């Protein structure tokens, strides 16, 4: 694609980077790459830089753009809403806010058999904050939560308290209400001599042991009360490296939670909206959550909107009255109109069928690469949420340095396809920052998946040469 450098207002990359370095905070994540990459256009599965070089994007804005860049149906929905009701104060109602809440609630009723309600906010972390209020309120002020090692729920103060990485809390004072973090079953790095299912059961038993006696730390058997209000779970760990637990895990965990009256909050911010082949990833595991938190792909990245669904007992107007939480831009009409269109489109285009088929093709390609490159220690996935763990030649020891080289080479845009330059956008995750977390467009073609495998092969070969 040709970028018009003579267009009114065009500023070249060198000037933009100089201005960025002088005037912008470095406190966000842009400067994880030095220098940051500038893109000018997006279309389908591709982004384009100033030179017009295409970059096949295999992470789609951390799974926020599930339906591809420039999706015409969704872009048109946004344009229509701009001409009808582009903005309205959040203390007033508008049609698509009500329609979207109803759509999510009826979908949950059909799947889980529970009445519930939907509450909106702007970003994923903000929706997590709202869920913490909801849970604390329902549990008569209990402020302690369970969460998983390797889990990620955001970087606001409240969300940081239930995110396992200390580096997100280190400089911001003491977190007296930090969650208790429990082991998440990580099949590739399970103890020797255990099957994945045995390892999963062991993790559940380790958790349930906390309730054996009052001296195990969280349970008062005389009153039948737990000190902790809820367990925050990602059904598939996102930033933690797209770790997929054994399918028996959440059933075992939920039995313990139900036995001791602890709520399950399913964080679907990264895995929601058909990333795994279901609207919610928790659907794969045969359990019913008490709260579902969502965001990101709800608007395909076109407008900030997030929210939560909770069962009626937690969120009815008597227990969670007006003013319990608020954001100026929550339930904004541009976002809710897009969210409504996303859900309609998802069911009409039958992503429940197409995503697993494409995911199987992608996983087959990764397994073929694994046979060729000893450094790919593990590949796994569910739908189009996939992982490749980059290791040393032993196929197990984490190799962050090699993956960092791969990312840099991909962003340089010097790979080749049909005699032309092309780039590759990857995302790094995992407990050891050695996992490629793949979240391609759900509309990626089989030909683009094959291209992705070819580019990954080039990328790994170049990176190993140094």
Q: Is 449 exposed, middle or buried (0-12, 13-18, 19+ CB in 10 A)?
A: buried
Cα 90 from Cα 77, distance rounded (Å): 20
| Tokens of residue 219, six digits | 């349970």
- What mean pLDDT is reported for the chain? 96
Residue 32 has pLDDT above 90, yes or no: no
- Find out whether 77 and 27 touch, Cβ atoms under 8 Å: no
Give per-residue burial for 418-434: e unless 16+ CB within 10 Å, then b: eeeebbbbbbbbbbbeb
pTM: 0.97
* Mean pLDDT (whole number) for 332-337: 97
Task: List, for residues 343-381, the tens digit of each pLDDT value.
Answer: 999 999 999 999 999 999 999 999 999 999 999 999 999
What tens digit of pLDDT does each residue of 176-224 get? 899 999 999 999 999 999 999 999 999 999 999 999 999 998 999 999 9
- CA count, 13 A, side-chain hemisphere, 404: 9
Residues 6+ apart with CB under 8 A from 90: 326, 327, 328, 329, 330, 331, 332
Domain extents in the chain: 13-60+351-465, 75-349
**What is the reported pLDDT for 248?**
95
DSSP 103-154: HHHHHHHHHH---EEEEEESSHHHHHHHHHHHHHHHTTT--EEEEETT----
Question: Residue 34 pLDDT more than 90?
Answer: no
Q: What is the pLDDT of residues 266-288, one digit of tens each?
A: 999 999 999 999 999 999 999 99
List, for residues 66-87, the tens digit of each pLDDT value. 999 999 999 999 999 999 999 9
- Over range 430-451, report the average pLDDT: 98
- 35 pLDDT tier (thresholds 50, 70, 90): confident
133, two tokens:
């209020």
Encode pLDDT of 296-327 as tens digits.
999 999 999 999 999 999 999 999 999 999 99
pLDDT digits (tens, 9 = 90+) for 87-106: 999 999 999 999 999 999 99
- Residue 240 has what pLDDT? 97
Tokens (6 digits) for 237? 């760990």
From the list 309, 284, 308, 301, the residue with the least C-alpha distance to 439 is 301
Residue ranges of alpha helices (H) inside 281-430 are 312-315, 333-348, 351-372, 400-412
The tokens for 446 are 């089989």
pLDDT of residue 174 exceeding 90, the answer is no
Domain 13-60+351-465 has CATH 3.30.470.10: no
What is the pLDDT at residue 2?
A: 87
**H/E element holding 161?**
helix 157-161
Correct CATH for 75-349 of 1.20.120.1760, 1.25.40.10, 3.40.640.10, 1.10.1740.10: 3.40.640.10
């Amino acid at each position: 694609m040709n970028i018009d450098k003579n267009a009114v207002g065009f500023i070249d990359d060198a000037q933009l980077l100089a201005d960025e370095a002088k005037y912008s905070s470095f406190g966000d994540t842009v400067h994880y790459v030095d220098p940051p990459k500038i893109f000018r256009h997006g279309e389908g599965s591709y982004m384009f830089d100033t030179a017009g070089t295409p970059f096949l994007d295999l992470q789609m804005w951390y799974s926020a753009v599930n339906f591809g860049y420039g999706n015409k149906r969704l872009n048109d929905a946004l344009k229509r809403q701009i001409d009808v009701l582009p903005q309205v104060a959040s203390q007033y109602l508008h049609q698509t806010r009500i329609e979207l809440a109803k759509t999510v609630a009826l979908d949950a009723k059909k799947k889980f058999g529970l009445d519930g309600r939907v509450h909106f906010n702007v970003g994923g972390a903000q929706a997590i904050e709202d869920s913490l209020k909801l849970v604390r309120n329902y549990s008569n002020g209990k402020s302690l939560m369970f969460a998983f090692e390797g889990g990620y729920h955001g970087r606001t103060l409240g969300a940081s308290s239930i995110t396992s990485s200390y580096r997100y809390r280190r400089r911001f004072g003491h977190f007296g209400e930090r969650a208790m973090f429990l082991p998440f079953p990580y099949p590739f790095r399970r103890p020797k001599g255990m099957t994945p299912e045995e390892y999963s059961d062991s993790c559940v038993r380790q958790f349930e042991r906390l309730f054996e006696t009052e001296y195990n730390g969280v349970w008062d058997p005389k009153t039948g009360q737990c000190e902790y209000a809820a367990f925050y779970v990602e059904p598939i760990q996102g930033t933690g490296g797209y770790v997929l637990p054994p399918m028996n895990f959440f059933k075992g965990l939920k039995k313990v939670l139900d036995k001791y009256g602890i709520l399950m909050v399913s964080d679907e911010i990264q895995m929601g909206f058909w990333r795994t082949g279901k609207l919610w990833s928790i659907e794969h595991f045969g359990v019913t959550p008490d709260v579902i938190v969502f965001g990101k792909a709800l608007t395909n990245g076109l407008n900030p909107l997030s929210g939560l669904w909770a069962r009626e007992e937690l969120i009815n107007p008597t227990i969670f009255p007006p003013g319990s939480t608020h954001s100026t831009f929550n339930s904004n009409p541009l976002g809710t109109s897009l969210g409504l269109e996303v859900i309609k489109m998802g069911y009409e285009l039958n992503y429940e069928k197409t995503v697993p088929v494409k995911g199987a093709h992608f996983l087959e390609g990764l397994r073929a690469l694994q046979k060729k490159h000893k450094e790919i220690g593990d590949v796994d996935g569910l739908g189009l949420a996939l992982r490749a763990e980059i290791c040393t030649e032993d196929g197990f020891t984490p190799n962050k340095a090699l993956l960092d080289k791969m990312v840099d080479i991909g962003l340089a845009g010097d790979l080749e396809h049909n005699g032309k330059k092309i780039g590759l956008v990857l995302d790094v995750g995992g407990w050891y920052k050695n996992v490629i977390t793949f979240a391609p467009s759900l509309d990626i073609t089989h030909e683009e998946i094959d291209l992705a495998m070819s580019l990954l092969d080039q990328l790994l070969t170049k990176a190993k040469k140094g």
